[in-house]
């Protein structure tokens, strides 16, 4: 897909992001296609989480601008931004002594105002978000009593309760076992496919990124090396350049998307295991 054909409510122009004097992202142009499930991948320190912080207004640009619906995001009122764009940051911390229901309900704060207090729509949004993330049975529990995986699902429920058209998620599968990782990613895919939400996620697992992304962004040293459909851009050469990992790419038999197979270690143990497999195969013949 050519970049000029993308429609986008969220984009960055000549964006430079830094912590104090340490520049992480410099002079970056990026466009998030509307109604896409965009996944940002890269090695640790590549700038992917920093980019997400810049897109969400959590980090003020050192130069350039982030545009939301054509306006500089930092010029918009905070509540207005929060009604259009939601964020699940990495490692959020809940207030002490707050219950699951109370935390999820905070996702409705952007919709409150002087003349609009808690409503039936708010309650429905909270209930729907809690059911979708399977935390309804935790409703009266204190958040600080939950396991890491349970807390992550509660935070995701709060983000969903916000009901924004654009949702940014920084490593949403952190602390989750493999089954709950797939549940969360399936939920995100449903939001994209069934409700038309634009999702932007940072993920560490490249195979998960390839399976779920409709638009993949690969970063290295604060720059975008490649972007597009996973099946169009993911090659063994790209994986080596981005992650320093020798691999081969096959087609995922379940999804038809690229599947990254790391090269086997050239060790005596690997050779012994390969020899045992040959012996077993010969015995079966």
User: Got the DSSP string for 234-284?
Assistant: --HHHHHHHH---EEEEE-TTTSSEEEEEPPP-SHHHHHHHHHHHHHHHHH
The neighbour count for residue 180, using CB atoms within 10 Å, is 17
Q: What is the pLDDT of residue 270?
A: 57
- The SS3 of residue 211 is helix
What the block records as the tokens of 85 is 């764009």
pLDDT score of 269? 62
Q: Count CB-CB contacts under 10 A for residue 85.
A: 25
Q: What is the dihedral of CA 90, 151, 106, 9, to 10 degrees?
A: 40
Per-residue model confidence (pLDDT) at position 81: 94
Mean pLDDT by 10 residues, the chain (285 residues): 62 96 94 96 95 95 96 94 92 92 94 75 94 93 92 91 94 87 90 91 96 97 96 97 96 96 76 61 58
pLDDT of res. 277: 63
Residue 16: CB atoms within 10 A of its CB come to 17
Q: What's the pTM value of the predicted model, to 2 decimals?
A: 0.86
**pLDDT given for residue 272 in this prediction:** 61
Question: Do 167 and 191 meet the contact criterion of CB atoms below 8 Å apart?
Answer: yes
Number of alpha carbons in the 13 Å side-chain half-sphere of residue 26: 6
| The predicted structure's pLDDT at residue 268 | 58
Answer whether 61's CB lies under 8 Å from 68's CB.
no
């Amino acid at each position: 897909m050519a970049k000029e054909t993308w429609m986008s409510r969220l984009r960055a122009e000549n964006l430079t992001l830094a912590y104090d004097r340490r520049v992480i992202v410099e002079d970056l142009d990026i466009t998030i296609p509307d109604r896409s499930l965009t996944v940002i991948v890269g090695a640790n320190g590549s700038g992917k989480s920093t980019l997400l912080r810049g897109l969400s207004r959590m980090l003020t640009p050192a130069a350039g601008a982030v545009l939301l619906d054509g306006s500089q995001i930092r010029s918009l009122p905070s509540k207005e931004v929060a009604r259009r764009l939601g964020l699940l940051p990495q490692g959020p911390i809940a207030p002490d002594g707050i219950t699951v229901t109370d935390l999820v309900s905070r996702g409705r704060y952007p919709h409150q105002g002087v003349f609009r207090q808690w409503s039936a729509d708010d309650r429905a949004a909270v209930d729907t978000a809690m059911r979708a993330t399977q935390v309804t049975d935790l409703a009266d529990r204190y958040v600080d009593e939950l396991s890491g995986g349970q807390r992550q699902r509660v935070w995701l429920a709060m983000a969903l309760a916000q009901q924004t058209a654009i949702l940014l998620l920084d490593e949403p599968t952190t602390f989750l076992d493999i089954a709950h990782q797939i549940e969360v990613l399936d939920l995100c895919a449903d939001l994209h496919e069934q409700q038309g939400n634009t999702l932007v996620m940072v993920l560490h697992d490249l195979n998960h990124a390839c399976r779920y992304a409709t638009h993949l962004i690969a970063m290295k040293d604060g720059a975008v090396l490649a972007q597009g459909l996973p099946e169009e851009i993911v090659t063994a050469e790209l994986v080596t350049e981005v992650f320093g990992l020798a691999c081969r790419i096959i087609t995922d038999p379940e999804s038809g998307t690229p599947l990254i197979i790391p090269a086997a270690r050239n060790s005596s143990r690997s050779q012994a295991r390969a020899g045992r497999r040959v012996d077993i195969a010969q015995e079966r013949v």
